[in-house]
Amino acid sequence: MPLVSRGSEHMTADVAVIGGGPAGLVAAIALAAAGVDTLIVAPQPQDDQRTTALLAGSVTALSTLGVWQACLPHAAPLTTLRIVDDTRRLLRAPEVSFAAAEIGLDAFGYNIENRHLLAALAAHAAKLKIARVNAATAAIASDAAGVTIEIPEGAARARLAIGADGQRSICRAAAGIGTSRHTYPQTALTLNLAHDRPHHGTATELHTETGPFTLVPLPGRRSSLVCVVEPERAAALAAMRDDELAAEIERRAHSLFGKMSVEPGRGVFPLAVETAHSFARARIALVGEAAHVVPPIGAQGLNLGLRDAATVAELVAEAHRNGGDVGARNVLARYDVQRRADAMSRRIAVDALNRSLLTDFLPVQGLRGLSLLLVDRIGPLRRALMREGVAPAASQPRLMRGEMV
Ligand SMILES: Cc1cc2nc3c(=O)[nH]c(=O)nc-3n(C[C@H](O)[C@H](O)[C@H](O)COP(=O)(O)OP(=O)(O)OC[C@H]3O[C@@H](n4cnc5c(N)ncnc54)[C@H](O)[C@@H]3O)c2cc1C
């Protein structure tokens, strides 16, 4: 491989993963474990007090990679999901409960703070001795033989770049890939809290006129909150004193878990839905939010991102084992085809649910209510929906089935 470097350090790898969020680190670990020479280019993570509800397939993938043991002490099992229509509208949906036991699972998945997940992944990447440049790259360019990534030491060369650099991906721009994006008039306020009464492993999603208000279990008598409201309201809530905010959340939660106290750290996330027109082009493959963003409803975002990471690692490892070019056009084309349907179907479902909450159009509210009524009353439909939510039939990469790539 030709080496391009302006400084004293020369770095080459088969694959360079750009971005050290969970999707990038999972891709890097899976590739390194398969013997692919991998380099991570990523700055140190910023504070993120969000949590992620990892569904069963993602937990299986992390277990298979040997990362889950370090996550488990910080994770809470999700055994039941309750959806409650908390709107004051004329047509309201019935309350629906989904129990993991109904589809033969102990739990749908586990909720974990992102900082613990990232720490476990970074420690495992270090244990596998994956080379890491602790900096953001300012530029990336591809040519017929590979990609050149600007790093502080000069430049690194790889056959393939995995763009795991989030919503404002420079990898996506470098590959010339556009997106379709819609911004919602909604912002999510996130924080973690302690409460008097136990949650019993139940995640509760209250559907309000401004979006979902979701409490997801954390270990002990703690939960994470995602509260979706208008942007001005989110700013006002985020500016409240701890005691004021705790009282306001308790009011919105109808005192479900008794008295609440908020933990330090609040996040504010404007909501959007965005999908890349292609998932791979010009020796650059996109994973995670570089490829797709969905609003935080039904815990789909990172679970999709981890399926991207598992799929790209599987295809690249196969090309590597066969002595082929890991960034070849046919590898990228297969990746694009394998991820598109999964990402699009989740986008459509989450977008439709979110819009149905925001609309004042009575027939749409009626349709949402009817759909939930059918789900509540028809057992096989409910169970099919649960299975599809946890493990999509059309997309089960090897890692999600408990096999190495
Ligand atoms: C409120 C909220 C709640 C959510 N809850 C859930 C949930 O319960 N379950 C779920 O599955 N999903 C959830 N999501 C979605 C989930 O948080 C995202 O899908 C996930 O964080 C995306 O991970 P990622 O690795 O793709 O990107 P990121 O975590 O954004 O990581 C991108 C990384 O790239 C790095 N980077 C950026 N530019 C460069 C560069 N030029 N060079 C090198 N590195 C760069 C950044 O520093 C960052 O570390 C939620 C999202 C929100 C907003």
C-alpha span between 336 and 342 (Å, rounded)? 11
Lowest mean pLDDT among 78-82, 178-182, 289-293, 356-360: 356-360
Please say if the pLDDT value at position 116 is more than 70: yes
| pLDDT reported for residue 2 | 37
The finding on whether 24 has its CB within 6 A of some atom of ligand 1 is yes
The finding on whether 234 has its CB within 6 A of some atom of ligand 1 is no
The finding on whether 301 has its CB within 6 A of some atom of ligand 1 is yes
The finding on whether 299 has its CB within 6 A of some atom of ligand 1 is yes
Ligand 1 centroid – CA 147 distance (Å): 23
| pLDDT reported for residue 10 | 65
pLDDT band for position 175 (cuts 50, 70, 90): very high
Ligand 1 centroid – CA 107 distance (Å): 24
Nearest to 213 by CA among 197, 233, 183: 233
The label of the residue with tokens 């530029």 reads 139
H helix or E strand, kind and range, residue 244:
helix 242-252
pLDDT band for position 8 (cuts 50, 70, 90): very low
In contact, 26 and 61? CB cutoff 8 Å: yes
Half-sphere exposure of 277 (CA within 13 A, CB side): 8
Task: Report pLDDT digits (tens) over 194-232.
Answer: 999 999 999 999 989 898 999 999 999 999 999 999 999
The finding on whether 42 has its CB within 6 A of some atom of ligand 1 is yes
Mean pLDDT of 263-280: 96
Ligand 1 centroid – CA 162 distance (Å): 15
Give the residue whose CA is nearest to atom 3 of ligand 1: 296
Give the total residue count for the chain. Answer: 405
The finding on whether 288 has its CB within 6 A of some atom of ligand 1 is yes
Please say if the pLDDT value at position 6 is more than 50: no
| pLDDT reported for residue 374 | 67
Task: Report pLDDT digits (tens) over 281-304.
Answer: 999 999 999 999 999 988 889 999
Task: Report pLDDT digits (tens) over 312-327.
Answer: 999 999 999 999 999 9
The finding on whether 298 has its CB within 6 A of some atom of ligand 1 is no
In contact, 108 and 390? CB cutoff 8 Å: yes
The finding on whether 170 has its CB within 6 A of some atom of ligand 1 is yes
The finding on whether 163 has its CB within 6 A of some atom of ligand 1 is no
Task: Report pLDDT digits (tens) over 71-96.
Answer: 999 999 999 999 888 877 656 667 88
Ligand 1 centroid – CA 300 distance (Å): 12
C-alpha span between 136 and 76 (Å, rounded)? 33
Residue 299: helix, strand or coil by DSSP? coil
The finding on whether 21 has its CB within 6 A of some atom of ligand 1 is yes
The finding on whether 50 has its CB within 6 A of some atom of ligand 1 is yes
What's the token pair of residue 184?
Answer: 């919602």
Please say if the pLDDT value at position 118 is more than 70: yes
| pLDDT reported for residue 226 | 97
Mean pLDDT of 18-44: 98
Give the residue whose CA is nearest to atom 30 of ligand 1: 166
Give the residue whose CA is nearest to atom 40 of ligand 1: 136
Please say if the pLDDT value at position 165 is more than 70: yes
C-alpha span between 336 and 14 (Å, rounded)? 20
Please say if the pLDDT value at position 387 is more than 90: no
The finding on whether 397 has its CB within 6 A of some atom of ligand 1 is no
| pLDDT reported for residue 4 | 37
| pLDDT reported for residue 55 | 94
Give the residue whose CA is nearest to atom 15 of ligand 1: 301
| Between 121 and 87, residue with greater pLDDT | 121
| pLDDT reported for residue 207 | 87
Q: Specify the ligand 1 atom closest to the Cα of 58.
A: 11
Q: What percent of the chain has pLDDT over 90?
A: 76
The label of the residue with tokens 């208008």 reads 230
